[in-house]
Structure 1
Amino acid sequence: MMKNYIEIIVLAASFFTLSANADVALKDNSEILGKWNLYAESAKLDGEKKAVTIEWDFQENGVLQTKATDTRGRTNEMNIAVKYSVAEGVIKKQSSPGREKYESCKVVEKNGPNMTLKCAYLFFFLTKI
């Protein structure tokens, strides 16, 4: 009897662990439209986060307007526009402006105003503005 309870607890724990790490499939860009504060990036989901000050504005016309603030650099602010779309549940965005090379970014977590993306090499942590 006790063995059955332990097996049920182990199964339940693994189910919740798997569901917590499941990607969120976007239906379309309406779920991400607007301005987001990208406040941190990391090589690992649970790794050390590097603080950044970047604003991402997902616009209806398929443009992701990025505004980065560099308080220590030569330029105070840098604005970059890249194309993006939502296809097959993920965000496909240009790797760099003017190039037709795209990277896929999966939504790892979307909870209220918070969203975590997994792009090619980094995790991005965002909050809706």
Structure 2
Amino acid sequence: MCYEPKVSGFWLRKGGRKSGSFNSDLRLIFVVSGEVMSDILSAKLETERRVIRIVSSYLSVDSQDVEFGLRLVEDLYVDSIGLVEIVMVLNESFGIELPEPGVRKWRTVGDVCWLVESVVDKVSC
């Protein structure tokens, strides 16, 4: 989902101590409306649930057994054909086209979720 956050305030903060030295850069911290942040988090969680459901369905395992940190090849034994099939199902399910360079970087379930979320966000803007 693409949102124009409603900024309700901001702070200008000087960087703090980092490993024994002072970080002198200034940081601008925005306070975003709680409503908008809640909607963004809800959409993100829903996308993650859908991705995990699709991956677990393809692998014929319970979705509660699929965690973000699990590695696709080493832990879930996804081969190259399986990866292509997962990409096809995700593309169809979300109405998106996952970019090949992004898919090549997938190592974990979390990587899959992150890429799908970022493509869905771009499409909805």
Report TM bin, short chain: under 0.3
| Greater helix proportion | 2
| Greater strand proportion | 1
TM-score by length of 2: 0.23
TM-score by length of 1: 0.23
